[in-house]
Structure 1
Amino acid sequence: RNVWYDAAIRNIESRIRAAAAATSTGTSPPTGEARSVVLFVGDGMGTSTLTAARILFGQRRGNTGEEAELAWDIFPAVALARVKKDT
């Protein structure tokens, strides 16, 4: 796992515990809707580009390259989208 991902999980869990402790019963998690969403858009990053980036990243770290993971490879959800222009 990534150190930033683990730190974010700890931060979220800490905030939930703090909010639960602030309630009268001490057991209710916070409720409500998210205020914002983070969306990463990698324009022009097809599967071949990502594979080349993984290999280069791994080789620069002294490995063969194929086993390397990029930061977004460990995100809990990812997607690919293809857009074609109608002419």
Structure 2
Amino acid sequence: MDFSPTSSGCTKGIRCTADINGQCPDQLKAPGGCNNPCTVFKTDQYCCNSGTCDPTDFSKFFKNLCPDAYSYPKDDATSTFTCPTGTNYKVVFCP
């Protein structure tokens, strides 16, 4: 997936070409895809309901495959950013 700004004022985009579904951990496999660990386990460790979150093995797995993507609440600053109101984007699902 490629989610890139096409207008000025925002220089950062998100790109991930990894086959996440093909490499999905067995515990998270779902028909046709890969589940979120919170959906599967429903624990604070994976859902971050308490507001205190640390990376998990699953978030590290996804972050390793797609470093630009936001993988868990309070993820590192490299994947949390904003673009100005009115920014236009190009979205490509299979780059």
TM-score interval w.r.t. the shorter chain?
A: under 0.3
Compare the two structures and name the one with the higher strand fraction: 2
- Structure with larger RCO (C-alpha < 8 A, sep 6+): 2
Structure number with bigger Rg: 1
TM-score by length of 2: 0.23
Compare the two structures and name the one with the higher helix fraction: 1
